[in-house]
Amino acid sequence: MNTLILVADDEPDVEVLFRQQFRRDLRAGRFAMEFAQSAPMALQRIADAGDQSLILILSDINMPTAAQANVYTAAANRKRMTGDAARLLVSDQTANADVSHQTAPPLGSVNSSDG
């Protein structure tokens, strides 16, 4: 089973930056990375993951679409169906917090009222 990381961000440079940063890991086949420039594209990537183990979803909270919440729901549903140990990390490039050493909670453990 292949390990998959999904990056959902509407900024065109994100894919290039991630591929550059993780080039050695990608070349070595440690994991695969898929990229989506919109929430609907992310939903399709989640649906198309097949037998890949979706372990991490990095998502830009400010993507311009109302379907963003559906990405979280689809990821949680996939976790229930496949047992993937997916974690969700939502980013906001305007945030001042240093999240480089923080881990995201497992899907389904985030309190939706935290806002």
Predicted confidence at residue 25, as pLDDT, reads 94
Predicted confidence at residue 104, as pLDDT, reads 46
Sole residue written with tokens 């990095």:
58
- Whole-number Å distance between alpha carbons of 39 and 19: 20
Predicted confidence at residue 4, as pLDDT, reads 92
Environment class of 53 (CB within 10 Å of its CB; exposed 0-12, middle 13-18, buried 19+):
middle
Q: What is the CATH number of domain 3-94?
A: 3.40.50.2300
Predicted confidence at residue 111, as pLDDT, reads 39
Which regions of the chain are under pLDDT 70?
1, 64-68, 85-115
Predicted confidence at residue 1, as pLDDT, reads 53
Q: Does the reported pTM lie above 0.75?
A: no
Predicted confidence at residue 50, as pLDDT, reads 83
Containing H/E element for 115?
Answer: none
